[in-house]
Every structure is written in C-alpha cells, then in structure tokens.
Amino acid sequence: MGNGDAVMRPAIFLDRDGVINRPTIRERKPYAPRSLAELEILPGVPAALQALKAAGYSLVVVTNQPDIARGAVPRTVVDSMNGWLTSVLPLDAIMTCAHDDADRCQCRKPLPGLITQAARELRLECTASYMIGDRWRDIEAGRRAGCKTFFIDCGYDERAPRSYDFRVSSLLEAARIILQADTLS
C-alpha cells in the first residue's frame, strides 16, 4: 500500500486550557496561562492520553489563543508552552489559532478549521473521532467537523454548549467512556 492509500485514522481532538492544563479562574471564567511557569497539567491527563494513544487514537490539541492577537502573550511563549506539552504528553500535534473574533479567520473555534486542517494533514477521519472541550466553542467546532463531542462541565459562568454527545467532569472520565465504547464495538 503506497502513502496515498494510507488508512484514515480516528482521533481525539482536545482543547488545551481546561482540558489538558489548569486554566486561571477569575470571576468563574477561565483564562489561559500566560507563561510556562503557570502551565500545570490537570490530574489524570497523562494516564488518559496514554490509554487513548494505546487504543490507536491520534491525539491532537486544537486551541484558540486570542491573547496572541490581543498582544497579551507573545507567540513565542505560547509555542514554548505547546512545545513543553508535546515533550511530556503523547500528543501528535498542537494546532493553534492565534486570532481574535474580529479577525474572522476560519481556524478560530467555533469554526472547525483547526480540526479539518489537522484531519487533512494527519489523515484523520472526523466522523470516527471525538472532540473534548470545556467551552461551547470547542463543542460547536467538533459538531461542525462531524466529531462526537464531550463537554467537560467546569461550572464556568458563561454560555453552555447547545448540545453535546456526553457531559463529563474530566478528560479521564471521557477517556473511560471512549475506551469502554471501543471494547463494546
């Protein structure tokens, strides 16, 4: 089988802040860490990702980082955080949207651009994949890309997703459900 005939693989698309790492919470709203020193991987994340990777899923982080466009955090700092996450977790890729809503790009969630770009580049099958996020934009992007969706409900004081396939409290809980479904099929 030549490279052009490669089989499309299932993936787990993950938001970064609130799913992989702990966000800073102010007035019940989440904010991205602003330095590598503030970046803290959430409990259960390494085990969840290792189990999903072992089950054959590609692991792709798709993250909005509007603080870059807003001038609050340099792109180099976000890249260093993403580089560190890739070095300590079994991630295949981290796709970053550095825009704000006013930029009207196609990669900013809730648009599915980051997911569809990753699917093209890494030969992933969105309809066999999952999007796991903690905000409505994540879930909507996953739905628009054709993925099943997991909403990690962190109790933020903001708009909730209109609909999702599963509501969980952590990435580890989502991974258990995905892996259990795999053993049943």
What single DSSP character describes residue 42? P
Cα 132 from Cα 174, distance rounded (Å): 8
Greatest CA separation found in the chain?
54
Residue 100, CA distances (Å) to 69, 94, 109, 110 in order: 6, 18, 10, 12
Cα 58 from Cα 44, distance rounded (Å): 18
Catalytic residue among 17, 67, 134, 138: 17
Cα 66 from Cα 61, distance rounded (Å): 16
Reading the block at residue 116, the tokens are 């569809």
Catalytic annotation present for 17: yes
Catalytic residue among 15, 67, 134, 138: 15
Residue 55, CA distances (Å) to 71, 165, 175 in order: 39, 21, 10
Catalytic annotation present for 157: no
Residue 130: strand pairing partners = 12, 148
What residues are annotated to the active site? 15, 17
